Amino acid sequence: MNFEILLTILMGIGLSAASGFRIFIPFLVISIASLTGNLNLADSFSWIGTFPALITFGVATVLEIAGYYIPWVDNILDTITSPMAVIAGAILMASVVTDISPLFKWTLAIIAGGGIAGTIQALTGVTRVASSVTTGGLGNPAVSTVESGSSLTLSAFAIFIPVIAAIVVIVLLVWATKTLINRFTAKSKTSS
């Protein structure tokens, strides 16, 4: 595997994780990066780098971010976006990884891209529920701001510094795994 392929895989990992925070921000970022010549998309995903896609992702991003600022609506959005984040993670991974066999590309996209996005989305959902319970939803806008900022920052790192993005994702995955295990362990102890 050559270095360029490795960088595109790391880029896909970063973008997939970013979609766990917000689904449409990474799509908006790669659309802009493609249109400005900073990113080459896989041939079958070249539509992402078009002006109609840019406008669509821009509107979807604004609506998604706005929805997360409405307490309790954000919890409903988490329910809807959980499966969508997995799909988005897979698509983002597949759209940036080029020059490898389709079998390897889609296996990587589904397992790594979808899995990473789903794990990060689960962490955000648990965080939002905890915020809703402890603050009555008043702390949720702060959580939403951090999530949107994380998605944007991670998307930019993935495009321009994929190695750093991959390191951030590893740290996030370790933290997410520990948090989710602790959450479910505590929940099962209180149920017993």
Q: Residue 168 is which amino acid?
A: V
Structure tokens at 33: 């990066």
pLDDT of residue 192: 63
Exposed, middle or buried by CB within 10 Å (0-12, 13-18, 19+), for 20?
A: buried
Domain range annotation of the chain: 3-187
Give the tens place of pLDDT for each residue, 73-114. 888 888 888 899 999 999 999 999 988 999 999 999 999 999
* Short-list 105, 85, 96, 65, CA closest to 159: 96
pLDDT of residue 78: 85
At 188, the pLDDT band (50, 70, 90 cuts) reads confident
Q: Are 19 and 89 in contact (CB under 8 A)?
A: yes
- Three-state SS annotation for 79-107: HHHHHHHHHHHHHHHHHHCCCCCHHHHHH
pLDDT of residue 1: 65
In this structure, is the dihedral angle defined by the CA atoms of residues 84, 60, 132 and 128, taken in order, positive or negative?
A: positive
pLDDT of residue 180: 82
Cα–Cα–Cα angle for 46, 50, 56, nearest 5°? 115
Prediction pTM value = 0.92
Give the tens place of pLDDT for each residue, 129-184. 888 889 988 899 999 999 999 999 999 999 999 999 999 999 999 998 898 888 77
Q: Residue 72 is which amino acid?
A: W
